[in-house]
Amino acid sequence: MTRRRWLVHIVFRALTHRRGRTLLLLAVLTLASSLATALGVVSASMRARVAEETKKYGANLVIIPESARIEVGSGGLRFGTIGEPAYLSQDQVLAALAQSGVKGDYSLHLKGTLSLKGVEIPCEGVDFAQVRRLSPWWQVAGNWPAQGEVLGGGDLSPRYHIHTGDLFDFAGGKGALRVRVAGIVTTGGDEDGTLFLDLKELQNQMGRPGQVSQVRLLVDPGKGSLKEQAARLQRHLPGATVKELRQVGRTSEELLGKVQLLMLLVTAVVLVTAGSSVAGTMGTTVLERGKEIGLLKAMGGSRWDLLKIFSAEALLLGLGAGVGGFLFGSLIAEFVARTVFAADAAPRPEFFPVAIGVSLLLALAGSVGPLLSVFRLDPVQSLRGE
């Protein structure tokens, strides 16, 4: 029997001879590895779920221009400030999005007013395809506008007798604008009092080609916090302000962060406990195998041979526990996601190396102390039972 086959034979006989301790170590390492896997799978799945859920609430960031403001007053009296409408360059905003690396959907908006029979009506130029993606809760009675058509807010219908299918001549900007009302939109917000036109059509009417009043963004929270992404974008838009449009995205991030922190603390406790258990079990094993170690040394086995034997045992235990931990951790993640978050958490192969790495690290780290004692062990005293 060659030296290598002899060492392999000793390793497998040692593991099978002490089945109880082997199974205990496998169980401890599997539990630690499974919790680490479950933490990663649940975190990744919940980030995707949060990103999907926040889409239902629309944009989470908004870009607005910095308005020019002038203090009004005389002497020591101050009557407040007045401001003029400010606009953003559409091309500059799109270039900033590309340069900052902030990814997400967006919609461009231009606010203005048009006159109907001498009455000023708030209007807003939008790209209707973009609005449909970012505002899925809009309820439209009729059809979404085509070329030369508009969308009227729900409050405009009773106030100005604007109904689906009506033709109106609006005044303002460059002159008269004849459009047809394609539908009436109801949102429960300020949009109900606004007339929506095609963005390019309103830009031409107002003499503002390539300019917008604001840009609404729906960024992915999984690519970083809203605050971080807003700051990145702000650096490329010195003449604008980037703000969080609402608190839903931040609240979701905070909830996910608290769940991750809780699971991380539990996992850390289990990892420390598992490491201690491995160290104690391996130390007991070394003491029990003192005569065996002494005999191997007396027969010419070097300290490195003994190191290889115990390290191989730890590696085999770590590999086996890593595979089991990945499978068991995937089941735990699915259970937690279904019962706590009412979501699915499919197995993620990218966490397989994590499961293997955790179990190997614990197995080897827990074996450091026992391995040092093997180096210091005197074969004569071991054979005497001292």
The per-residue pLDDT for range 98-146, each reduced to its tens digit, is: 898 888 889 999 999 999 888 889 999 999 999 988 888 889 999 999 9
**Nearest alpha-carbon partner for 35 in 268, 261, 279, 255:** 268
- For residue 61, give Cα distances in angstroms to 20, 230, 333: 58, 7, 31
pTM of the predicted model as reported, rounded to 2 decimal places: 0.59
Helix extents (H) in 289-302: 290-298
Largest CA distance in the chain: 112
Structure tokens at 82: 């007045």
Please tell me which residue, 191 or 43, carries the higher pLDDT value: 191
pLDDT in tens, 34-67: 888 888 888 777 777 766 666 667 788 889 988 7
Can you tell me the distance from the alpha carbon of 240 to that of 89, in angstroms, rounded to the nearest whole number? 10
Please give the average per-residue pLDDT across 360-378, as a whole number.
72
Examine the pLDDT at 174 and tell me if it is beyond 90. no
Examine the pLDDT at 73 and tell me if it is beyond 60. no
Structure tokens at 153: 């807010």
Structure tokens at 309: 């034997």
